[in-house]
Amino acid sequence: MPWPWPIVLDDEVVACAECGTYRDWLIISTRGQVWLRCRAGHQQLETRLGTAWFNRHSGPSDATHATFEDCLRHLGH
C-alpha cells in the first residue's frame, strides 16, 4: 500500500538505509513479512511491523497478489 507519511516506530522515524528518505513509502506485506520500499526503489525489511499491523492499516484488500512482482505492478512501480 502507498504510505506517503513518515513511519514512526518506538519514537523513531524510520529512514531508508540507502538514501535516508523518511516518507513516501510503499509498504508491502508478503509471506508474513513487512517490507518498506522508498521512492528510489530501495527495500528494507521492517521486523517491527507485522502482517497484523499491515492489515489493520490497509483495510480490506481489493486484490490478493500472488507474487511480490505482481504487487509492485499493481501499485504502479
- The least CB distance from residue 22 to Zn ion, in Å, is 10
Cell numbers describing residue 76: 504502479
Give kind and range of the element (H or E) at residue 35: strand 33-37
Give kind and range of the element (H or E) at residue 3: strand 2-3
28-57 residues near Zn ion, rule: CB under 5 A: 38, 40, 42
Instruction: Check residue 14 for interaction with Zn ion (CB under 5 A).
Output: no
Instruction: Check residue 18 for interaction with Zn ion (CB under 5 A).
Output: yes
User: Which region, judged by CB under 5 A, interacts with Zn ion, from 9-17, 22-30, 51-59, 64-72?
Assistant: 9-17
Instruction: Check residue 26 for interaction with Zn ion (CB under 5 A).
Output: no
Binding site for Zn ion (CB under 5 A): 16, 18-19, 38, 40, 42
